[in-house]
Amino acid sequence: MRLAGAVDIGATNTKIGIVGEDGRVFRRTTIPTRSGNEPDHLVDAIAAELRPMLDAVTDERNQVVAIGIAIAGFLDREHTMMVANANLRGLCDFPLRRAFEERFELDCHLEVDSNATTMAEYRFGMGRGITNLLGMVFGTGVGGGVIVGGRLLRFTGECVGDIGHVIVEPGGRQCTCGARGCLEAVACSAALSERAEGRAVREVIAEAKNGDRSAISAISATGEFIGLGLATLVQIFAPERIVIGGGLAAAGDLLIEAARSSFRKHAGDDFRDRVEIVGSSFDGWEGIVGAASIALSPHD
């Protein structure tokens, strides 16, 4: 089987693994992205984790033929570097693809993380069989990828643009982009934590699943903003299905049902009962699955 090394660089954590051409994850780990202000140090830290994984899975039947790297932010047209992300300024304009190719001597493919996660859903997850798909990720930041007619939509920054920055609460919480009330500002991990009196997101989700009312309320309020944002985005992209992934999606139906309810409240007649909203089935690993899949079989 052909395999790919896979890296998903987020603003808080970086996920690393080995993924097969059928979407199976053979190895996985996570490291902090704390070295983001020193790009070479971050790449070295990733390499230190990934190289032993590559050695462990390579044999006569399985060959690692490429490395896929997903990163939060806009890319240049040649997919050699990330050029804009308010949450990862230290990596902007750093030749990331070349840095990986120098360390591994394999073909390396750089992709916007929202495109990678959406492609993972489209090929192997909750988006299979869907022609027009919107994939959303809610974590440290908020982003989305769009597939229209079976093809990734590339518009701004080699992706659909920063759709996490549609305004859903005028004058609301300050966003890293400089505006107030963006979907990212009110539906990110930090916003959920603030609603839960500073508790960590994992703690909030665990307590909500155990019936803690304040944690459930914080997740529900976040889901309401998500539904409102989705009601806006469907008017632009007209998806058949929306898949919600990222760290916040670990809340499961507590988040998804709140988003669905809010969506039905705010969406127009053409979309209210026609668009499905579902949670990702990848448990937060959709980024590495998509990055590897694109490296092994480029989509466009």
What CA–CA distance (Å, rounded) separates 28 from 19?
9
Of the listed ranges 25-39, 87-101, 189-203, 225-239, the one predicted with least confidence: 25-39
Match 């699943």 to its residue by tokens.
209
Q: Which helix or strand (DSSP H or E) is residue 140 part of?
A: none
Of the listed ranges 32-36, 92-96, 152-156, 278-282, the one predicted with least confidence: 32-36
Q: What is the pLDDT of residues 41-89, one digit of tens each?
A: 999 999 999 999 999 998 868 899 999 999 999 999 999 999 998 888 8
Q: What percent of the chain has pLDDT over 70?
A: 98
Q: Which of 294, 291, 296 is nearest to 28 (CA)?
A: 291
- Domain extent listing, the chain: 2-116+285-296, 129-279
The predicted model scores a pTM of 0.93
Which pLDDT score, from 0 to 100, does residue 36 have?
47
Tokens matching residue 3 = 């395999």
Q: Which CATH class is domain 2-116+285-296?
A: alpha beta
Q: Which CATH class is domain 129-279?
A: alpha beta
Tokens matching residue 35 = 């070295």
Burial class (CB in 10 A: 0-12, 13-18, 19+), 253: exposed
Q: Which of 13, 34, 14 is nearest to 201 (CA)?
A: 13
Q: What is the pLDDT of residues 102-142, one digit of tens each?
A: 999 899 999 999 999 999 999 999 999 999 999 999 999 99
Q: Which helix or strand (DSSP H or E) is residue 234 part of?
A: helix 213-237
Q: Which amino acid is at 283?
A: D
Q: Do domains 2-116+285-296 and 129-279 have the same CATH topology?
A: yes
Which pLDDT score, from 0 to 100, does residue 235 have?
96
Which pLDDT score, from 0 to 100, does residue 230 have?
98
